[in-house]
């Protein structure tokens, strides 16, 4: 799929204030610093559409980006940022959770996992929570440029083995690097496929 247009629409902490236009949306979620905002920029062929930083905790709001005037990418704050103040952590969690539960336009969540890391309880718990709430999700392994090609396969299959312990069927997954622009086409094509499978919105 070609991303001909990508525009920032609105940022907020309230589901009620998210765009009212009824269009399918895809949210990016995962630990702080995993590369959510960078991935959105890479998909949109833009450097600064979503704000990124080497320091965790950069994205603090629900950000809607309108793509090709007919669907949204949604950048969310990360979780698991150890140094965030406790009160901040709680509000993050509350409005993120609220977003996932209430936002009817959300058709699929992409849960991002840093390919270098062993499976972390915080991600596995979040996946379980998505499952319990019947929220469809796919996994996106990020930062594949940081390890050798051979290691990529090993890391992914190790991760899937762990998922098999709690899931009957494995989710769809993507291997990406925003740095090397890897995994862009498969991800966009998948979104297009899902968009086309939605008859009416
Ligand atoms: P929060 O908004 O804090 O939750 O973080 P985020 O998940 O949006 O991460 P962000 O996109 O801001 O990226 C965090 C850091 O990782 C930045 O320094 C990026 O340049 C770097 N990064 C992101 N994706 C990649 C990648 O594919 N490869 C490499 N090498 N670095 C990446
Ligand atoms: Mg971010």
71-125, pLDDT tens digit by residue? 999 999 999 876 666 666 666 678 999 999 999 999 999 999 999 999 999 999 9
Give the model's pLDDT for residue 42.
Answer: 98
Judge if the beta carbon of residue 88 lies within 6 A of ligand 1: no
Judge if the beta carbon of residue 183 lies within 6 A of ligand 1: no
List, as one string, the DSSP characters of 43-68: HHT-SSSS---SSS----SEEEEEET
Residue ranges per domain, the chain?
Answer: 6-151+173-195
In testing the pocket of ligand 1, which one of 32, 38, 115 has its CB within 8 Å of the most ligand atoms? 38
Judge if the beta carbon of residue 41 lies within 6 A of ligand 1: no
Q: What is the per-residue pLDDT across 172-183, written as a single tens digit (0 to 9) for each?
A: 999 999 999 999
Judge if the beta carbon of residue 35 lies within 6 A of ligand 1: yes
Fold of 6-151+173-195: Rossmann fold (3.40.50)
Task: Record the pTM.
Answer: 0.95
Q: Which residue has the tokens 């949109």?
A: 44
């Amino acid at each position: 799929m070609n991303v001909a247009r990508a525009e920032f629409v609105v940022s907020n902490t309230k589901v009620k204030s998210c765009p009212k236009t009824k269009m399918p949306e895809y949210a990016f979620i995962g630990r702080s610093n995993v590369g959510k905002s960078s991935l959105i920029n890479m998909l949109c062929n833009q450097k600064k559409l979503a704000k990124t930083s080497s320091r965790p905790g950069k994205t603090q709001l629900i950000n809607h980006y309108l793509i090709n005037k007919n669907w949204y990418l949604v950048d969310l704050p990360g979780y698991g940022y150890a140094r965030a103040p406790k009160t901040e952590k709680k509000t993050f969690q509350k409005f993120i959770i609220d977003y996932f539960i209430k936002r009817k336009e959300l058709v699929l969540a992409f849960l991002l996992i840093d390919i270098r890391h062993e499976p972390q309880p915080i991600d596995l718990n979040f996946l379980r929570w998505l499952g319990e709430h019947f929220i469809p999700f796919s996994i996106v392994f990020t930062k594949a440029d940081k390890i050798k090609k051979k290691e990529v396969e090993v890391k992914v299959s190790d991760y899937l083995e762990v998922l098999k312990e709690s899931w009957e069927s494995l989710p769809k997954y993507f291997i990406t690097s925003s740095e090397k622009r890897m995994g862009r086409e498969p991800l966009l094509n998948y979104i297009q496929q899902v968009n086309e499978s939605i008859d009416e919105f």
